[in-house]
């Protein structure tokens, strides 16, 4: 009997040594192939730039190529739909921005749910918008701007980097809260908005800090106020809307990474840990600040709370203000 058992064990060992039987040692490692960061905005933009910085670091730490694939279009819907339909194996990541939780209020019948169909990985960085004017503009604070516009109904307009963007929402919210009469002038991006602001074609600009910073440093424009729950470390002398007496402007712009729902929890945990670690590296912190972003690198659970809260607040504001996409 013992000879039979020994023979059976010998046979089992022989078979397994040729890889016929699966074992823990043969379980697939992760990642087992190149990872793709699908960017929801255009190549060369700020989200794409951050994705490429992240990809370079992940390639080193994960020991596989990490590729960046911009898929711009429809306020992020093109890229988001692509990732939603991708294999749920952890090798496709959505690298996106605030529009992920704004678009549902602006578009009906999206092919995905921004919360239920995705798994947060990391909340990577924050950005903010300012109200920018020329140095000669006869107001140096938000209070002075409100008084000026109220005294001259219909005279002043404000420009933004696009219809139905966070800047547009902020502009319409200020109009409602301060009871202002000023028209909205949407531009196709922050660069043309700043160009017209500098040329004097639009008197007030709701612009992002990144595009505005070179002009602010050169003294060509001045910032009256900034959105967010606290002052920005990039512009510590500029007061927030909240400090100026206006609530509802606390939401930040952000960049974040998500998996499609269905990716195994251990793979989500690994990618979340790696991205959070990378964002906290000194040279990454420096590079992001040079891009006029506030580094964050929070974990998946914290990012999940931000997504849920932002979806609720942006939906409420878009609905109350009657903002629609063109």
User: Containing domain of residue 98, as a range?
Assistant: 35-126+252-321
Which CA distances in Å does 105 have to 111, 249, 257, 280, 321?
14, 18, 21, 33, 11
Total residues found in the chain within this entry: 326
Write down the pLDDT at residue 45.
Answer: 87
Whether 265 and 200 map to the same domain: the answer is no
3-state helix, strand, coil in the chain (%, to 5): 45, 20, 35
Whether 122 and 256 map to the same domain: the answer is yes
Whether 74 and 163 map to the same domain: the answer is no
Whether 40 and 181 map to the same domain: the answer is no
pLDDT per residue over 76-106, tens digit each?
999 999 999 999 999 999 999 999 999 999 9
Q: CATH number of the domain at 208, please.
A: 3.40.190.10
pLDDT per residue over 129-176, tens digit each?
999 999 999 999 999 999 999 999 999 999 999 999 999 999 999 999
DSSP 37: E
CB atoms within 10 A of CB 146: 19
Identify the domain boundary among 226, 261, 286.
Answer: 226
Whether 119 and 134 map to the same domain: the answer is no
Q: Is residue 245 part of a domain?
A: no
Whether 109 and 137 map to the same domain: the answer is no
Q: Is residue 240 part of a domain?
A: no
Specify the DSSP element, H or E, that contains 17: helix 2-17
Whether 156 and 106 map to the same domain: the answer is no
Whether 157 and 189 map to the same domain: the answer is yes
Q: Is residue 87 part of a domain?
A: yes
CB atoms within 10 A of CB 115: 17
How many domains, in total, are found in the chain? 2
């Amino acid at each position: 009997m013992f000879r039979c058992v020994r023979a059976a064990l010998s046979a089992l060992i022989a078979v397994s040594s040729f890889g016929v039987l699966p074992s823990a040692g043969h379980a697939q490692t992760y990642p087992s192939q190149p990872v793709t960061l699908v960017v929801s905005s255009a190549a060369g933009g700020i989200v794409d730039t951050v994705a490429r910085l992240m990809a370079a670091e992940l390639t080193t730490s994960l020991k596989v190529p990490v590729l960046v694939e911009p898929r711009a279009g429809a306020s992020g819907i093109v890229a988001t739909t692509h990732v939603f339909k991708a294999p749920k194996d952890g090798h496709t990541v959505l690298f996106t921005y605030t529009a992920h939780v704004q678009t549902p209020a602006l578009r009906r019948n999206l092919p995905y749910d921004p919360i239920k169909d995705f798994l947060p990985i990391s909340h990577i960085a924050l950005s903010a918008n300012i109200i920018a004017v020329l140095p000669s503009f006869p107001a140096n604070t938000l209070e002075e701007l409100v008084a000026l516009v109220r005294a001259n109904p219909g005279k002043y307009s404000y420009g933004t980097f696009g219809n139905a963007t966070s800047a547009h929402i902020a502009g319409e919210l200020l109009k409602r809260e301060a009871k202002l009469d000023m028209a909205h002038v949407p531009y196709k991006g922050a660069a043309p908005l700043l160009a017209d602001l500098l040329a004097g074609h639009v008197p007030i600009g709701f612009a992002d800090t990144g595009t505005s910073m070179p002009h602010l440093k050169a003294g060509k424009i001045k910032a009256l106020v900034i959105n967010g729950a606290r002052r920005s470390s990039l512009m510590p002398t500029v007061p927030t809307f909240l400090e100026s007496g206006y609530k509802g402007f606390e939401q930040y712009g952000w960049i974040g990474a998500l998996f499609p729902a269905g990716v195994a929890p251990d793979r989500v945990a690994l990618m979340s840990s790696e991205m959070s670690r990378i964002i906290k590296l000194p040279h990454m912190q420096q590079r992001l600040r040079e891009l006029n972003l506030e580094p964050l690198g929070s974990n998946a659970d914290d990012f999940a709370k931000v997504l849920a809260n932002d979806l609720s607040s942006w939906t409420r504001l878009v609905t109350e203000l009657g903002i629609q996409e063109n």
